């Protein structure tokens, strides 16, 4: 066998094909992106172990992830918060983890997306299972997983074809095969979903500009929210009593050791907001929570500078508006004395 | 550490760099390989390396004693020590909760209302493999079938050699330890061929098992519905492909990596889905385990030396325990029992209705064998009997109104992949990848190699664990 010759040709063909693949996807508009996976979340979670009482943790669902911008927060306060929010998730499992498994006694901003916060405490329900899986991963991650993730970061940051997007935007082989659809033997009721955010290594997330400029793109995301809202309407009702009791118990424990909690309701708009107002009305849910929790709390509707913000896909702010929202929110909180121990230049 | 991970790529480059550098003499290289093997294992869960050390020390001492001890009673006691330690680990870590569950069920049948709390003990990766490997050494020493390892370093490396530590091939002492006695260095062709095998193994695992088949398997076996005929069959066929590509992929990687170090490991798979009957299947599927079970269980139980009844009993016990080796659940025991039954029926057929296998009936026989094997895979994959039974009834067309969970393309995809897999195994059954690669032009082999590498790169699996790691 002339294996040397074979190896050289195989090596050349591999380099050519992978380079061509990378250029092809870049020409199709695919950009390099990090995967917002459990390993990336765990990197931030590990920072909590050494976080001091002057630091701020951000928890909640994707609205906290998109709407609170770390650069603007840091510019206003001198502190860069630790981003622990998780898409499609109730904040309760992560709050429970930090309260019960760490000695952190700084400030925790908890984003309240009513449909998720008040949804459930059932371990197998998605709003609970997704964040809990991140917590579990952090607790059980092996040195091999940590090193794999660290090694993967520079590759993810430099090669577009390694994008881990799923669904219609997915370009991994599995996703490409999954997009092939022949016949209608089984119909997937979920509309196609576009990934509309880009996350950084510290999990600072911004909305992709195409979501703002391309109405069809934004509408496709809105259709997905409508699909979930229909599902929620026909599913079990929110477990307000259970979720509030769970949260208040941890809150009490956290406050007892000197921790502070801030509740924030981030903007939503259009049909999604109308749906939220109907399914989880403010008076019955947010107001009750605020009354029971007795912590600093901020609802975007209560502030002139925030109440008219429009979300391009009805649930999250554009990159530009998120910066504005963060600056204004921090100003409001500072004026209200909610943020203390600020670092000043 | 998984072969399909970035950490392993870095690990392997460092190990190969040190192995082929002039820093170490042969003893130093073996020490480096041993240390690297502990890193390879310990990076997953460091404390569990202690189990490896205990197993190594106990079996080293046992082997040493058995080499000199002539007193029969004492020899038996030394062998028992090794058995108790190795099987004790296996029982505690793998079978404790299973035994406790069954004990609780039996006790509660008599109305005691006993409650047991499962300990949820972590299963040390590859424990079934390395305990069987070390036990083969002590049993062979007891039976005076092998020489004692010359040094502790050689023996420790035999137990821990990283390419085959966590999922085999299960190698006999005489086949591996003796390779450590003299300096090993791969020839250029061996090294390149090892690299080719590593690529082939990763292609089997990352592209075929994880990318092409695993989602279909999960859809079918994860469904709590009673399924349609086609969905049940396609899910099962997809699993037959997934488990082959996953496990054969691991073995191919292991053989390739060892070859890059100049060490030869035995084949573990020889196109099993092209088997002509079940005896043939077990000479082709997980060969090193089936030969282990034959030599250390079936033959000691009497084999075919004491009449038909004893032979069939030995066969059935061997297969039932083989099933239990794969997992602590009754579904695995049923899987083993079905294979035992197939083997018995095949022997009866050979005795009472013999026929000559020709080119014409051969493929039909292989197809029948493959179909029967698929029935057993249902029990192997299903988490519960209820799921398995629902699948089996659907496969026998007893649920004509069953749910459809697979899209048309899934069915087409699985049909094409498994069809090609079966034909490949049939046509390759008397040859090997190496033999075929020698017959084709270097450029054609290079194109195949580059294509496999390209597909591995664009599949970029999320480092999913190999199925056999859990056994």
Q: Determine how many CB atoms are found less than 10 A away from the CB of residue B344.
A: 18
CB A128 within 8 A of CB A97: no
The partner residue sitting opposite A6, judged by closest CB among B413, B445, B455, is B445
Say yes or no for a CB contact (<8 Å) between A183 and B407: yes
Interface contact A1-B437, CB threshold 8 A: yes
Q: Which of A32, A160, A185, A189 to mutate to test the interface with B (most CBs of B within 10 A)?
A: A185
Main-chain phi, psi angles of A328, to 5 degrees: -65, -40
B238 touches chain A (CB under 8 A): no
- Residue A298 φ then ψ, to 5°: -135, 120
Confidence of residue A343 (pLDDT cuts 50, 70, 90): low
pLDDT tens digit string along A223-264?
999 998 888 777 788 999 999 999 999 999 999 999 999 999
Tell me what the mean pLDDT of segment A293-303 comes to.
Answer: 95
Distances (CA, A) of A15 to A19, B12, B453: 6, 21, 10
Short-list B272, B201, B288, B281, CA closest to B428: B272
- Residues of B annotated as catalytic are 326
Q: Which of A2, A144, A180 sits opposite B442 (nearest CB)?
A: A2
**Residue A181: its chain B contacts at CB < 8 A?**
407, 409
Decide if B438 and A6 are in contact by the 8 Å CB cutoff.
Answer: no
CB A206 within 8 A of CB A84: no
| CATH architecture for residues A41-159+184-335 | 3-Layer(aba) Sandwich (3.40)
CA distances from B333 to B301, B379, B392 (A): 19, 9, 17
> Quick check: A181 and B409 CB within 8 A?
yes
- pLDDT (tens, 9 = 90+) of chain B, 471 residues, equals 888 889 999 999 999 999 999 999 999 999 999 999 999 999 988 888 999 999 999 999 999 999 998 899 999 999 999 999 999 988 888 888 777 777 787 777 777 777 766 666 777 888 888 999 999 999 999 999 988 999 999 999 999 999 998 887 999 998 999 999 999 999 999 999 999 999 999 999 999 999 999 999 999 999 988 999 999 999 999 999 999 999 999 999 999 999 999 999 999 999 999 999 999 999 999 999 999 999 999 999 988 888 888 999 999 999 999 999 888 889 999 999 999 999 999 999 988 988 888 878 899 999 999 999 999 999 999 988 889 999 999 999 888 889 999 999 999 999 999 999 999 999 999 999 999 998 999 999 999 999 999 999 999 755 555 555 555
| B457 close to A (CB below 8 A) | yes
Optimal mutation site among A30, A159, A173, interface B, most CBs of chain B within 10 A: A173
* Complex confidence, ipTM: 0.88
Is A228's Cβ below 8 Å from some Cβ in B?
no
- The answer on pLDDT for A345 being more than 50 is no
Straight-line distance from the first to the last Cα atom of chain A, in angstroms, rounded to the nearest whole number: 70
Smallest CA–CA distance, residue B170 to chain A, in Å, is 24
pTM assigned to the model: 0.90
A283 lies within 8 A of chain B by CB: no
8 Å CB contact of A7 and B7: no
Say which of A144, A172, A184 has its CB closest to residue B43.
Answer: A144
Contact B6 A7 (CB under 8 A): no
pLDDT value for B151: 94
What is the side-by-side strand order in the sheet with A56-59? A82-83, A56-59, A107-111, A260-265, A296-299
Q: Torsions phi, psi of A59, nearest 5?
A: -130, 160
Q: Distance from A136 to chain B by nearest Cα, in Å? A: 15
Long-range contacts of A333-338 (CB under 8 A, 24+ apart): A333/A262, A333/A296, A333/A298, A334/A76, A334/A77, A336/A296, A337/A296, A338/A260, A338/A262, A338/A296, A338/A298
Q: What is the pLDDT of residue B4?
A: 87
- The residue count of chain B comes to 471
Cβ(A191)–Cβ(A224) under 8 Å? yes
pLDDT value for B329: 87
For the residues of B428-444, what is the DSSP string, one character each? HTTS-HHHHHHHS-HHH
Strand partners, A91: none
d(C-alpha A286, C-alpha A116), whole Å? 12
A7–B contact, CB cutoff 8 A: yes
Report how far residue A59's alpha carbon sits from residue A84's, in angstroms, rounded to the nearest whole number. Answer: 5
- Option in A6, A182, A183 nearest B442 (CB): A6
More reliable by pLDDT, A105 or A188: A105
**Rounded distance between C-alpha atoms, residue A237 and residue A231, angstroms:** 11
Q: Is pLDDT at A342 greater than 70 in this prediction?
A: no
**How would you label B278-316 residue by residue, b for 16+ Cβ within 10 Å and e otherwise?**
bebbbebbbbbbbbbbebbbbeebbbeeeeeeebbbbbb
Q: Any CB–CB contact under 8 A between B202 and chain A?
A: no
């Amino acid at each position: 066998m002339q294996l040397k010759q074979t190896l050289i040709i195989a090596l050349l063909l591999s380099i050519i094909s992978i380079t061509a693949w990378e250029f092809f996807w870049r020409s199709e508009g695919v950009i390099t992106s990090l995967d917002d996976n459990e390993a990336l979340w765990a990197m931030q979670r590990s920072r909590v172990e050494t976080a001091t009482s002057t630091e701020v943790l951000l928890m909640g669902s994707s609205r906290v992830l998109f709407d609170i911008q770390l650069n603007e927060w840091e510019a206003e306060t001198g502190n860069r918060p630790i981003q622990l929010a998780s898409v499609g998730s109730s904040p309760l499992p992560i709050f429970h983890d930090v309260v019960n498994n760490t000695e952190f006694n700084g400030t925790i901003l908890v984003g309240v997306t009513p449909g998720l916060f008040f949804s459930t405490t059932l371990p197998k329900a998605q709003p609970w299972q997704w964040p809990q899986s991140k917590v579990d991963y952090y607790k059980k991650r092996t040195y091999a997983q940590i090193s794999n993730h660290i090694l993967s970061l520079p590759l993810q940051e430099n090669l577009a074809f390694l994008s881990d997007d799923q669904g219609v935007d997915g370009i991994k082989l599995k996703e490409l095969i999954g997009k092939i659809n022949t016949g209608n033997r089984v119909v997937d009721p979920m509309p196609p979903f576009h990934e509309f955010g880009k996350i950084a290594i510290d999990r600072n997330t911004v909305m992709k500009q195409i979501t703002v400029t391309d109405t069809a793109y934004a509408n496709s995301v809105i259709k997905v929210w409508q699909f979930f809202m229909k599902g929620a309407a026909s599913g079990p009702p929110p477990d307000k009593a259970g979720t509030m009791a769970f949260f208040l118990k941890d809150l009490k424990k956290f406050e007892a050791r000197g921790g502070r909690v801030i509740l924030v309701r981030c903007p939503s708009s259009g049909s999604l907001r109308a749906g939220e107002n109907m399914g989880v009305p403010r008076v019955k849910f947010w107001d009750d929570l605020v009354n029971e929790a007795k912590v600093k709390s901020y609802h975007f509707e209560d502030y002139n500078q925030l109440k008219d913000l429009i979300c391009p896909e009805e649930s999250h702010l554009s990159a530009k508006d998120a910066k504005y929202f963060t600056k204004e929110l921090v100003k409001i909180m500072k004026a209200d004395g909610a943020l203390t121990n600020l670092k000043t230049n | 550490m998984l072969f399909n991970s970035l950490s392993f790529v870095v690990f392997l480059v460092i190990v190969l760099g040190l192995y082929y550098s002039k820093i170490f003499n042969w003893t130093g290289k073996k020490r480096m390989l041993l240390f690297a093997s502990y890193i390879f294992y310990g990076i997953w869960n460091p404390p569990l390396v202690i189990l490896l050390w205990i197993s190594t020390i106990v079996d080293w001492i046992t082997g040493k004693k058995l080499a000199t001890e002539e007193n029969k009673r004492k020899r038996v006691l030394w062998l028992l020590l090794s058995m108790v330690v190795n099987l004790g680990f296996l029982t505690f870590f793998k079978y404790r909760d299973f035994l406790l569950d069954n004990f609780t069920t039996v006790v509660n049948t008599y109305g005691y209302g006993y409650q047991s709390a499962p300990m949820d003990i972590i299963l040390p990766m590859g424990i079934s493999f390395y305990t069987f490997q070390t036990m083969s050494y002590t049993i062979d020493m007891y039976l005076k079938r092998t020489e004692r390892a010359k040094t502790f370093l050689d023996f420790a490396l035999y137990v821990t050699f990283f390419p085959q530590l966590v999922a085999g091939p299960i190698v006999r002492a005489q086949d591996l330890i003796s390779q450590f006695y003299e300096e090993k260095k791969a020839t250029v062709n061996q090294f390149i061929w090892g690299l080719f095998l590593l690529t082939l193994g990763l292609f089997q695992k990352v592209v075929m098992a994880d990318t092409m088949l695993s989602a279909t398997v999960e859809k079918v076996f994860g469904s709590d519905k009673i399924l349609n005929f086609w969905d049940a069959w396609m899910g099962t066929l997809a699993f037959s492909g997934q488990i082959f590509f996953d496990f054969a992929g691991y073995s191919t990687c292991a053989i390739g990596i060892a070859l890059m170090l100049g060490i030869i490991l035995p084949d573990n798979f020889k196109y099993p889905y092209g088997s002509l009957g079940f005896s043939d299947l077990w000479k082709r599927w997980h060969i090193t385990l089936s030969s282990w079970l034959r030599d250390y269980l079936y033959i000691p139980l009497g084999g075919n030396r004491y009449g038909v009844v004893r032979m069939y009993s030995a066969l059935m016990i061997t297969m039932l325990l083989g099933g239990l080796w794969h997992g602590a659940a009754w579904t695995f025991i049923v899987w083993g029992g079905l294979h035992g039954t197939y083997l018995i029926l095949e022997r009866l057929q050979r005795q009472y209705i013999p026929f000559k296998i020709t080119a014409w009936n051969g493929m039909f026989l292989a197809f029948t064998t493959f179909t029967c094997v698929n029935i057993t895979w249902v029990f192997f994959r299903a988490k519960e009997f209820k799921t398995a039974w629902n699948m089996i009834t659907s496969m026998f067309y007893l649920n004509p109104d069953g749910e459809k969970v697979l899209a048309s393309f899934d069915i087409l995809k699985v049909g094409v992949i498994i069809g090609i897999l079966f034909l490949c195994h049939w046509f390759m059954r008397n040859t090997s990848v190496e033999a075929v690669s020698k017959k084709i032009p270097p450029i054609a082999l290079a194109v195949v190699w580059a294509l496999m590498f390209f597909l591995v790169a664009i599949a970029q699996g999320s480092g999913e664990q190999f199925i056999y790691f859990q056994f």
